[in-house]
Every structure is written in C-alpha cells, then in structure tokens.
Structure 1
Amino acid sequence: MAEDTTDDEREEELSSIKAIYPDELIVDPHDPFSASIDILVAPATPLAVVFPHPVDGAPPTTLPPSPTSQLGAPPSVQPKRDIHNLSYLPPLRLQLTLPDGYPSAAAPKFRLSTSPPWIPEKLLQKLQKEGVGLWEEYGREQVLFSYITHLQDAAERGFDLGEDRVLELSLDMKIGLLDYDIKTKKKVFDQGTYDCGVCLEPKKGSSCYQLPRCSHVFCVQCLQDFYNDCISSGDVNGVKCLSPGCGQEKEIPGVKRKKKPDRLLTPSELLQIPLETAMVQRYVEMKRKKKLESDKSTIYCPRTWCQGAARSKKYPKITDLSQITESDDEASDDETAVEEKANPGKDAKPKGAPETDRLAICEDCNYAFCRVCMQGWHGEFVRCWPRDASELTEEERASMNYILAHTSPCPTCSVPCQKSHGCNHMSCFQCKTHFCYLCSAWLNADNPYEHFNQEGRPCYQRLWELEEGDDGNGNVHFNGIRGAEAAAQRAAQAAVDIQNQEIDAAEDQEIPPPAPEPPAPLVPAPVFAQPNGRQAANQVPRENVRRNPRDPGQERAAHGGGGRYPLMEANQMGLQRFLQLVRDDEEDEWDSDELEDEDDEFAIPER
C-alpha cells in the first residue's frame, strides 16, 4: 500500500507541473516519472559576454590579461577583447527523475546542462546540489515547483556570474550565442503589441521595427515612407530616429554640454527594416559624397566633363553594401575621430616638409593629374605652381561670380548658402549652424531672432529683407563677409566704368586714348570651394569687361557685323567669296588685292 501511495504522489506532482508548464515540460515516454524542462535565460540586465580576438599564429585565449603582465605596458600591446551584451542566452535544461520512495524516503535526481556549454561546470554542479538542499529544507516533501522557481530566479540574475557580470567564453561559441540572442529577441518582439511613434496606431510586433540603439518602435510602413522620401530628396541628415527627443541629453542647470550630432541609421539597419537595396545604395553614396564635400583635403578631377573625386584611403569608393555594414557606422566614425584627436601626430607630416604626394587619380575616369597645378601628371621632379584666377575657364568664372553674388557663406563650414524665400535667419544644411544671411554672424540657436532686435546693430529690424529670395538683391546692403564681397565687386565695376568712359571720350575726340589706370584695390574676401574642387580669389576677370557697354555698334563690329569699323566686315565678305571660288574650282580668278583696295567702298579714309 505504501508503494501505491508513493506512485500517486509522484504522478500528482508531475501532473501539477505539467499543468503549470504545458509546453515546456516534456515527460519521457519510456519512464513516466522522468521529464525535462527548458528554463528561459533572460537576465534582467543584459549579461556582458567577452570573446577573445583571434591572434595570428596563436590559439585564442579565454582568460583576460593578468594585471602584473600589463603593468607599465602601453595600451596598444594589450590583447583586445570582444564584448557583447546579450539579453537572451541558450536555455538551461533541467532533467529530473523521481525515484521510488520519493518524496519521503528518496531525494529527487537533477541534472543541468546547456547547449552550447556556456555555463561553467562548477556552477551547474552547485545548482544541482541546491535542489537536493531544498528537498531537505522542505522536510523531504514535494519540491519540484520550488526548485524550478529557484532556477528561474537565478537565470534572471544571470546566475551571479562574476562581480562585474562579465562572462569569459571561448571564441567557438560566439556565432551560436549571438545568433540565438538575435532570433529570440525577434521572436519575443513579434509576439507583442506596440504603438507606432508616427501614426500612433497599435500594431503587432511583426509589422513594426525597433531601432537597436534607442529601442524606439515604429511601424514598418511609416519608416519606409519617411526614409525613402528623405533619400530621394537628398536629405541624408533626416535618416535617423523619428522620435523628437531621441539622443538629447537632459539639461543640467549651470552645465553647458556640446551638442552631439544626430546618429544616422546604418545601411544594415535600413536593410533590416527593410528598404530596397537600390535605395540603400543611394543613401551610402550620398553619405560618402557629403563627407567628401565637408573635407577640405578632397581633390576633384580637373576634367570639366568628369569632376569626380580623387581616390581616397579615408573615404574609399564602395560598390558592395556588404562592405559597409560595419565601416559606415556613425559610431565607428566617432571612434576614429577620438583616435585621431588622441594621436594627432600619427600620420601628420613634420612642419616645413615638402609636399611629395602630388599624384592624384580620379576614381571615376582614372585620369592621373597633379594636385598642385591641376594639370596632367608630370612626375615628381617637375616644379609647378597652383593656378591663379586668370587661368580659370569661362565656366569656372561664371560659377565663381554667381557664388559671390548670390550666396552667403556659413560661418562654421564656409559652405555657400543661398536663400530662396523666408527670413534672414538661416540654418546651414551641412552643419546645422544658425547664422544671419546678411552678415554671416553666428546666431544663438535658443534665441536666433535676438540678433535682429538689438538697436545699434547693422541688421536691426532687417529680418524680412530679401523675403522673396536672393535674386535681384542690387539694392540690399550686406554686412560682414557678404558686405566685403559686395564692396569688392562694386569697386571693380566702378573702375571698369571709369576706364570705359575714358576710352569713349578719347574715341569721340579722335585722340590717342590714355594708358589705362589700374583698378581700385579689392577688399579682401574669403575663398570659396568651387564645385570642381578648386579655389579662386574674389576677382573680376578682365575678359568679362566690355569696352563700351553703351555702344552696341562696337560690339557688332568686333564680330564682323558692321558699325564704326566696316573693314572687318569687308574682309570677312572677301574671305567668303574666296571660299566659294575654291568650292567651284575657280580660285585662279581670285585677286588678293581685293582685301586691301583703298578704292573699295568699305575702305577706311585716312585721318
């Protein structure tokens, strides 16, 4: 009778555990008193797992470097460690057996394991002994539920692995543990319900995406619509978290903190949302182009039909998205900037050293040219000089003149900015600096309109000048750098007008014209980067100056169109007649004196 009572107690306890964990508890079909259950390991605080970096020629190690061996050693020679914070780890499997005589006469048998074996064996043995200890503590009564609860609490604490909650594991477990963590996160997320931060509608996790850095949740449709629109319109800085306060630190009274740039999404995150590969490729190219344009050391191809950037080790051209899943991350850019700041002389050349690396190769057309004189590559031992403004092409001069006349430079990054409409409070598209369009002065982002409301300032009550845009700004008075440019242009134009007036007066009086005087000195103005990457000073080319703008007949005569100098027109007509005789094979009848016949009606009388 006692044996039947024991069997009843074991069956009763296992049926109760089965009712509590219907999907987790699996009873052995060959032994009704043996079962197994997987316990989820999800620490309340993600567990830091350390994997050693592989070393060439040596097997990977799982032990951290000893403090004595690192004493006095530079940080660069210390072994690196790869740390990952895991929220889910492979479950702890509990295999239990209720022997005959349980619970009063015999203790239950427990066996713990994990796959892969990420929990140390000593810790597993300790947990198994704690199960037997609970059976003794409970007065040799039924203890399965209490022991399972005890293991769940230990798993939530991360099994108290180390004081710093850091677990050292071998490198061969890395792929399995990281893959399990990612899949489990996705599974748990898909089963939940979340409110989209854009459309504010509750949706299942399978229709949403959670940003890994800030954990903000948005529906996939809203993210795709917004990011596709940003990339299509060229707004690279808009590809970030859509939460208004994301990334903003709490303000502390009396403490000023430098504003950090917004973290942009990486291409790998855009592919996981998912966005189309072609759209992500465009995002990568535009992001790289923005970095090239903001770097003053970028050199562009001198060919007008190409103007591609020269090959750069700092910003390599990438055609495969798999190559930029790690290197294009904003975090890696920040780490590179910190490293360059910590080691400023790592790649710097000594002061006064000659420029030896003059060869530049366009990454688009493979044209090799000199980065100093912008001519075809002539070798390292040929002396050359940078180009001046007189060597600019007509297209470059037109671009320079337009930039000087219709843009104001950003005071931070010097990027020319043009206003199409609105007030004179500007925000640079490149670096987000707030500045005044009239004088290029920095404006306080918290109160940018204070600049226009202070009496005595040149921009007082001039907030809405040029409201319709920068075109037609001849009557607007600019200050600061923009004012210096306008003054230089006015001075140059005044000198040209005076010279033209003197030439016209001399021609009307039929006396030799006086020698032209040099133009008035120009006010120093900043140098702007041209679209083709070269720089030019603020000068007005002499080729653009018309001798006499008020005499259209002179300009027509210069092109053989008649006017005050008909000899050029006569010569051109005679030349056309000669060409017609050549076509008709009658050039023998041509008289070369026709062009110099003083009796001709087009001849100029002697004065």
Structure 2
Amino acid sequence: MASLNPDDERAEELNTLQSIYPELAIEHTNPFTAHIDLLVAPTIPLPGIFEPEHVVSRLAYLPAIHLDIALPAEYPANAPPLVNVSTTPSWLPSATADSLAKEAHSLWEEYGGAQMLFAYISYLQEAAETAFGLSEITLPSGLQAELESYSKRMKRELFDKETFDCGVCLEPKKGTVCYRMERCNHVFCVACLQDYYNNCIQEGDVNNVKCMSTECGETRGSKKNARLISPKELLQIPLALETVERYAKIKRKKKIEADPHIIYCPRSWCQGAMRTDKYPKITNVREMDESDSETDEPVKSATDEPLQADGPEKRRVGTKGMDRLALCEDCNLAFCTVCLASWHGDFVSCQPRDTSQLTEEDQASLNYIMRNTSPCPTCSVPCQKSYGCNHMTCFQCKTHFCYLCGAWLNPDNPYEHFNNKKNKACFQRLMDMAEGDMAEGNVQFGGARGAEQMAAFWEEEAMRIQMELDAQHS
C-alpha cells in the first residue's frame, strides 16, 4: 500500500485538509487521490419540478455533492488539481457540475500556483447555500420519492444532533426529544407540546392549538393571530389519533355553528347539519394539513341570500327551486331549507316554519341559562363562574368583561372597572361570589342578567300577591 511522503507539498495539504474535514477519504492505492461528500442545504429550499406530471416539491436538503480530487505530480506549482463534481442520484445539471469543476482551475490561477484546495472546498460549501445559483431543477418523476425522502431524513438527522432550549420549560433538550413547528420554526420539547395541546383539546379550547411562542404572528411590530396547527402536524408531534380526531371535529363544529347559512336537519332525533362543500365531513385526519387562523370568518355563499330571523334559528328567504333543497349529512334526509319539511319539489310554494314555540325541555334549559350565566358582551356566549374574581375572559372570543354587569373591560387594565366609584354597581366587588355562581345565588347583578333577575323577582312577587288574593276570596 502506498503512503504519503511527508515532505511532499501534496501530502502536507491533504493531511491539513483531513484534520479540518475528517470525512475526507484518501485513497490507499493512490495517496494523492481523495474524495469528500459536501452537504447541500440551500438557505431557501430549492423547487424541484418533476416531469411529465409537472409536480413541484420544495427540497430543503439535496443529496450531497461528491468531490473527487486528484493531485498530479506538478501540483501545485505547475499544474492545477484534477477535480470531478457529481451527485447520486444525478440531480445536479451537467452544465452546473462542469462549471463547478472549472472553478478549481480558476482558483489555482488566482492563487498563483499555491495550495488552494481548502479555498475550493469552501467555495463549494458557500455555493451550496444558494443552490449553486439554481432557481429550480427539472427532474424525471421517478426521482421525486427518493429526493423527498432524502430531504426529510436529513432534516431529522441534523435536527436530532442539535441541542435546543425549549420555549416553554426553558430547559436544554436534544433534538431527539424536540419538535420544530413547520410554519414558524420555533422549537419546543415534545413533552411540553403534548401536555399543552392535549389539555386544550380535552377542554374543547381548540382556538389555542397553535404555536406557544409569544413571537408568533408578529410582523414589523404588529401582532397578528397565529395560525392553528393542522391535524397532520399534530400527528407528527405526536399526539394520539383519537385526540387529533376530536380536535378536527370540534374545530369543524365551531365553524358550522358560526355560519348563519347552515341549516340543520328538522328531525328532532337527528339535528345534523346540511351537507356543504365548505365544511366536508372528516374522513381521514392524517391527510388534513390545512392551518386555519383563529379568527377565520365563514365564507359567504355565492348567492349571499338575505337572512330572516325566525325564532331561535335563522332561515334563508328568497331562495328558489333547487336552492331550497338540502341533504342532512347524518341521516341523508332531503328537506326544504325554507319550510323544513321533507323535500316537496321545485314548484311547491312554502313559507318559513314557525319555530318560535320552544319545547318544555328547551324552555327550561333557556330559563336556566338566563338565570345562572352572564353573557359575553361580544359574542353572547353564556359564561358561568365556578370560582375566583369577577374579571372574566370569554372562552370563545377572549373578550374581557365583568361578570356582575356584563360590561366590556379594557384588557390592559381590567381591574380599573372595580376601582372606579362611578361604577356603583361593581365598585369594590371584584371578589364577590369568589366561591362561584351556584354557591351564592342571591347576589345582585347588573346589565342583561340584572334585568332578568329583576323580571324573575317581580314575576314571583306577582304570583305571591295573586295567591294571597285568591286565598282571601276562597
């Protein structure tokens, strides 16, 4: 086996290179021949166009550049190094590979016959960061799966080797027990993510299933709502499949309930929502990779029909023909969205059904809600306090409000309301009912709940007086 002559300049340069790049391999049979693989991780992922389907995939990592080096006897004084640049599989355009190889000769001339291999390798590494000046690469579709798999594998391998400070527990953790958020690249340990997201989903607080970094959503000093995490990404963290399915179903249910254009099945035992392409039924959460903003508004329908208040629900008016036909997504009943009867055909005239009369059970539920909850001043969701002070934050829309009078509170200083003498009904009553609504049911309220409370009082008083008069006449 041949060995390097320590007095040879070529041997000195290769020894130095190997101490800098331990991965540099020197051929045993030819001590002046070496090769090295260089990582290709563009700062901006390189778009790969796979033909003939013209599928575009953004590749964060590409198979390494393989550099073969051969040093002739005249090197470095009188001859440049012989180099060859290649990749496996062959994704790098041949013209680009030839240009990279020619750069070795240019550097040798620039260095005036001095040792220049370190400068050349550094040049290749810097060029790899910009994807060698390529804006995109066009490849046969047969390479798509291989390149995507390589990019994903390299991303995970390099991430696992790093150490990160978890953004929640602030402890240093190896990448093997951490997760990098796909959209914003913030890093948290898996244990913290699982604890937080599992708790949010269990409590139904799906609007907080988003990146936990306080910096998320900040753009040039302004604060925007961070986007919700997609079901597909939650499975990658990973969360249990049944937990992610619950998340997707609750999120869909909230969207449907917030959309006034959705009509529900008239069958009392069903009450399923009408079928709509806007909110398709969930079939496989593993394929759901959309991320929705916390404040997504329901998309208006194409016809944007006017709405008519009709009892506790809103009905569309002015619809014609098949526009009135709806299918229940649960029981498949075909019904009319105007009169709520089973589908009667295009040419039957109908009127909105009178739904103002509630059942005895529904009326009892409504009475309980009116008497034992305080509505949010923004979204009107009924809230009941189980313990603590009267500064409330709406679970649905995050509005700050007073539980006693229903007034909106300034989020920056919510307690000013309870310290202001002008607010006579709430002054110094921050801790009233600290044990909860049901523990102290005799507290005087203000606002809408106070009016309901007074109405109930006078109704009971009238009944008492009537009973006394009836007793006197009997």
Q: TM over 0.5: same fold?
A: yes
Which residues of 2 match residues 79-90 of structure 1 at below 5 A? 84=58, 87-90=60-63
Q: 8 Å contact 1:6–1:102 — kept in the other structure? A: no
> Could you say which residue in structure 1 is the equivalent of 2:426?
459
The 10-residue stretch of structure 1 (468-477 or 416-425) with the greater mean CA deviation from structure 2: 468-477
> Could you say which residue in structure 2 is the equivalent of 1:279?
243
Q: 8 Å contact 2:201–2:247 — kept in the other structure? A: yes
Does the alignment pair 1:432 with 2:398?
Answer: yes
CA distance in 1, matches of 2:388, 2:282: 39
CA distance in 2, matches of 1:290, 1:53: 39
Q: Pick from 114, 121, 127: which aligns with 1:148?
A: 121
Q: For the structure 1 residues 453 and 12, does the alpha-carbon distance in structure 2 shift closer, same or farther, using more than 3 Å as the test?
A: closer
Q: For the structure 1 residues 260 and 229, does the alpha-carbon distance in structure 2 shift closer, same or farther, using more than 3 Å as the test?
A: same
Does the alignment pair 1:394 with 2:360?
Answer: yes
> Could you say which residue in structure 1 is the equivalent of 2:40?
41
How far residue 405 of structure 1 moved from its aligned partner, in angstroms, is: 1.4
Which residues of 2 match residues 253-264 of structure 1 at below 5 A? 260-264=224-228
CA distance in 1, matches of 2:380, 2:434: 23
> Could you say which residue in structure 2 is the equivalent of 1:417?
383
Q: Pick from 339, 354, 358: which aligns with 2:318?
A: 354
> Could you say which residue in structure 2 is the equivalent of 1:586?
none
How far residue 445 of structure 1 moved from its aligned partner, in angstroms, is: 0.7
CA distance in 2, matches of 1:170, 1:348: 46
CA distance in 1, matches of 2:189, 2:342: 53
CA distance in 2, matches of 1:105, 1:87: 40
**Larger Rg computed on CA atoms:** 1
CA distance in 1, matches of 2:249, 2:439: 35
TM (normalized to structure 2)?
A: 0.81
> Could you say which residue in structure 2 is the equivalent of 1:289?
253
What amino acid does structure 1 have at the position aligned with 2:230?
T
Q: 8 Å contact 1:48–1:167 — kept in the other structure? A: no
How far residue 132 of structure 1 moved from its aligned partner, in angstroms, is: 0.5
> Could you say which residue in structure 2 is the equivalent of 1:581?
none
CA distance in 1, matches of 2:196, 2:147: 34
Which residues of 2 match residues 289-438 of structure 1 at below 5 A? 289-324=253-288, 326-327=289-290, 329-330=291-292, 346-349=302-305, 354-356=318-320, 357-380=323-346, 381-389=348-356, 391-438=357-404
Does the alignment pair 1:182 with 2:152?
Answer: yes
Q: Pick from 166, 183, 192: which aligns with 1:213?
A: 183
How far residue 320 of structure 1 moved from its aligned partner, in angstroms, is: 1.4
Q: Deviations over 1:170-202 (max 9, x none)?
A: 584655544333221211111122333444443
Q: Deviations over 1:318-345 (max 9, x none)?
A: 1312331x23x226x88x869x5xxx78
Structure 2 residues not aligned, in runs of 5+: 308-315
> Could you say which residue in structure 2 is the equivalent of 1:78?
none
SS at match of 1:471: coil
Q: Pick from 180, 193, 218: which aligns with 1:249?
A: 218
How far residue 218 of structure 1 moved from its aligned partner, in angstroms, is: 2.8
Structure 1 residues not aligned, in runs of 5+: 62-80, 509-607
Q: For the structure 1 residues 443 and 386, does the alpha-carbon distance in structure 2 shift closer, same or farther, using more than 3 Å as the test?
A: farther
Q: 8 Å contact 2:107–2:120 — kept in the other structure? A: yes
Give aligned pairs, total: 458
Structure having the larger proportion of residues in strand:
2
Q: 8 Å contact 1:294–1:413 — kept in the other structure? A: no
Does the alignment pair 1:471 with 2:435?
Answer: no
Q: CA RMSD in A?
A: 3.8
> Could you say which residue in structure 1 is the equivalent of 2:23?
23
TM (normalized to structure 1)?
A: 0.65
How far residue 424 of structure 1 moved from its aligned partner, in angstroms, is: 2.0
Q: For the structure 1 residues 302 and 349, does the alpha-carbon distance in structure 2 shift closer, same or farther, using more than 3 Å as the test?
A: closer
What amino acid does structure 1 have at the position aligned with 2:377?
P
What amino acid does structure 2 have at the position aligned with 1:196?
C
Q: For the structure 1 residues 304 and 40, does the alpha-carbon distance in structure 2 shift closer, same or farther, using more than 3 Å as the test?
A: same
> Could you say which residue in structure 1 is the equivalent of 2:67?
94
Q: For the structure 1 residues 346 and 369, does the alpha-carbon distance in structure 2 shift closer, same or farther, using more than 3 Å as the test?
A: closer
How far residue 142 of structure 1 moved from its aligned partner, in angstroms, is: 3.4
CA distance in 1, matches of 2:192, 2:409: 34
Moved over 6 A (4+): 4-7, 350-353
What amino acid does structure 1 have at the position aligned with 2:187?
V
